[in-house]
A and B are shown apart, each in its own frame.
Chain A
Amino acid sequence: MAHEHKLAIFRGLVKFKSNTQKIWGVLIFLTFVTAIEVILGILKPESLMGQVLGMKALNWIFIILTIVKAYYITWDFMHMRDELKSLRRMVVWTAIFLILYLIFILLQEGGYVFNVYKEGFIKRDF
């Protein structure tokens, strides 16, 4: 039962002495990211309200920060960093592929239905 942990995060930028230390380090990072999200969510800076790729820039920032958080939870709390590359890919890429596919289809369809109500002859509100 060997339990070697890879103790470096941020691509080796930060190295921790022990696994316990790494856990606290990741907690600080996650708290920091959540704090940024909440502050941005309350302030809603005017400069980030512009549309980027069909969505507000602020929303893209939220989504990216969420994925960053998800990465560190999976990699360091769930020890994905220490698993074999093959297991990692089986779990992560399967989920990512299927989820992206589903999101693409449903959002596309939702936007289409919106346009049908808006521009077509179908009405839902009388």
Chain B
Amino acid sequence: MSTTVVNTGTEGKTWGGGNRPLNASYGKMMMWFFIVSDALTFSGFLAAYGFSRFKFIDSWPIADEVFTHFPFLHGVNAPMYYVAFMTFVLIMSSVTMVLAVDAGHHLNKAKVTLYMFLTIIGGLIFVGSQAWEWGTFIKGDYGAVQTKGGNILQFVDTEGHRVALRDFVVVDAHAERTQHERKEGLWFVSEGTLPTYTVEEVLHGLETHDNILVRTQIIDEAGEKTVLSRAESLKQIKEYGKVVVEGANLHVNEYGSPLFADFFFFITGFHGFHVFSGVIINIIIFFNVILGTYERRQNYEMVEKVGLYWHFVDLVWVFVFTFFYLV
């Protein structure tokens, strides 16, 4: 090795190397710059959400009426409690992460291991909750009818409470329509799952139940959705009703504007993907901690770097929570 140049003769000078600009190590600084760029990606999504919402400001779904479910409490109206719980879980896992970083500064391997483990558990609970939230959202609850113009018509009783299609629509057993599958006809033509009811059945159900009214997407001055009169309700369904919508996908959803579901899937999905990769990275670092990699290095900075990423995921969720669920 004697032939290798070890010294440049410029040590101690500004450009001699070994300096740490901004007093941060290379890895930490790059993690910060990555976070800035990722923050811009997320703000792009959220700003696009804001754009669509401002475009449909008088007919956007009201989040309180969409996210009303809580696991194991079926039929209980619990707006936002579950999301609040998820937020708390994520903040809590952020806390255990920062405690792991702190224990790393004291080179306390046992404590780093414990706190990293708790962080991973918190992350898994969050991802699981999000999966449940998606499941509930996709499945839907009340069902609605979409008009030719793409508007969503929902059903309420005379007191303004939501009514599900299953409560007043009866399937006409004689008018059975089977789902077309590729094996039964043209092999290159197929169709998606058929809704439980047809528009005619919904109309029939509406005609036979005097206490059911149609609620449109339009938000009135009081900030509530407009409920139509009985005659107008029948007219809307009869003249404009086109498809029955149950639940949500990328094309239609029973909650209102299709864009609402698109943004829901895209933004919470992208965030969930971040949480998921965060959990994977945390698991890798967790095993490194157990194996004593950082113990030998006498430096737990890796924990600090994944910590930065993990807190960032929490930070994004705080904004998603506000703009998707609260505002």
- Within the complex, what minimum Cβ distance (angstroms) separates A67 from chain B? 9
A91 proximal to B (CB < 8 A): yes
Q: Is A42 an interface residue (CB 8 A)?
A: yes
A-B contact count (CB 8 A): 143
In the bound complex, CA of A23 to CA of B100 (Å): 11
Judge whether B141 is part of the interface by a CB distance below 8 angstroms: no
Given the interface pairs A66-B322, A70-B318, the reply to whether A87 lies near B40 with Cβ below 8 Å is no
Give 9 nearest A-B pairs by CB, closest first: A110-B54, A125-B149, A110-B51, A87-B22, A106-B51, A66-B322, A99-B43, A38-B84, A3-B105
Instruction: Known A37-B322, A41-B64; judge A109-B51 contact (CB<8 A).
Output: yes
Task: Establish whether residues B56 and A19, one from each chain, have CB atoms under 8 Å apart when the complex forms.
Answer: no
| Residue pair B36, A91 in contact (C-beta under 8 Å) | yes
The complex places the Cα of A69 from the Cα of B314 at a distance, in Å, of 10
Q: How many residues of A contact B (CB 8 A)?
A: 53
CB–CB B47/A103 < 8 A: yes
Taking Cβ atoms with an 8 Å cutoff, the residues of A that contact B are: 1, 3, 19-20, 23-24, 27, 30-31, 34-35, 37-38, 41-42, 49, 59, 62-63, 65-66, 69-70, 73-74, 76-79, 83-84, 86-87, 90-91, 94-95, 98-99, 102-103, 106-107, 109-111, 113-114, 117-118, 124-126
Task: Count how many chain B residues have C-beta atoms less than 8 Å from C-beta atoms of the other chain.
Answer: 59
Give B96's nearest chain A residue, CB to CB.
A23
Known contacts A34-B84, A38-B80, A73-B314; decide if A23 and B32 are in contact (CB<8 Å).
no
The CA-CA distance from A24 to B98 in the complex, in Å, is 10
Name the residue on B nearest A113 (C-beta).
B55
Is A73 in contact with B24, judged by CB distance below 8 angstroms? no
- Chain B residues packing against A (C-beta within 8 Å): 22-24, 29, 32-33, 35-36, 39-40, 43-44, 47-48, 50-58, 64, 79-81, 84, 87-88, 91-92, 94-95, 97-99, 101-102, 105, 148-151, 223, 299, 307-308, 311-312, 314-315, 318-319, 321-322, 325-327
State the majority secondary structure of interface residues on B: helix
Asked if residues B312 and A78 are in contact (CB atoms below 8 Å), the reply is yes
Min CB gap B134→A, angstroms: 21
A37 and B79 contact, Cβ closer than 8 Å, known pairs A87-B22, A87-B23: no
**Smallest beta-carbon distance A8→chain B, Å:** 17
Give the residue of A20, A94, A111 whose beta carbon is less than 8 angstroms from that of B57.
A111
- Determine whether the beta carbon of B94 is less than 8 Å from that of A77: yes
Docked pose: A124 CA to B33 CA in angstroms: 42
CB of B237 to closest CB in A, whole Å: 16
Known interface pairs A62-B326, A83-B24; A95-B39 also in contact (CB < 8 Å): yes
Q: Taking the nearest CB of chain A, how far is it from the CB of B22, in angstroms? A: 4
Q: What are 9 contact pairs spanning A and B, CB under 8 A?
A: A1-B299, A19-B102, A37-B322, A70-B318, A87-B22, A91-B32, A91-B35, A110-B55, A126-B148
Contacts of A3 in B (CB 8 A): 105
CA distance A34 to B102 in the complex (A): 25
Decide: B50 and A73 in contact? CB cutoff 8 A. no
Inter-chain CA distance A46–B327, complex, in Å, is 15
Q: Tell me which of B48, B79, B99 contacts A106 (CB under 8 A).
A: B48
B23: contacting residue among A84, A91, A94, CB under 8 A: A84
- A86 vs B23: C-alpha distance when bound (angstroms): 10
Residue from the list A20, A31, A65, A99 in contact with B91, Cβ < 8 A? A31
**When the two chains form their complex, are residues A110 and B99 in contact, meaning their CB atoms are under 8 A apart?**
no
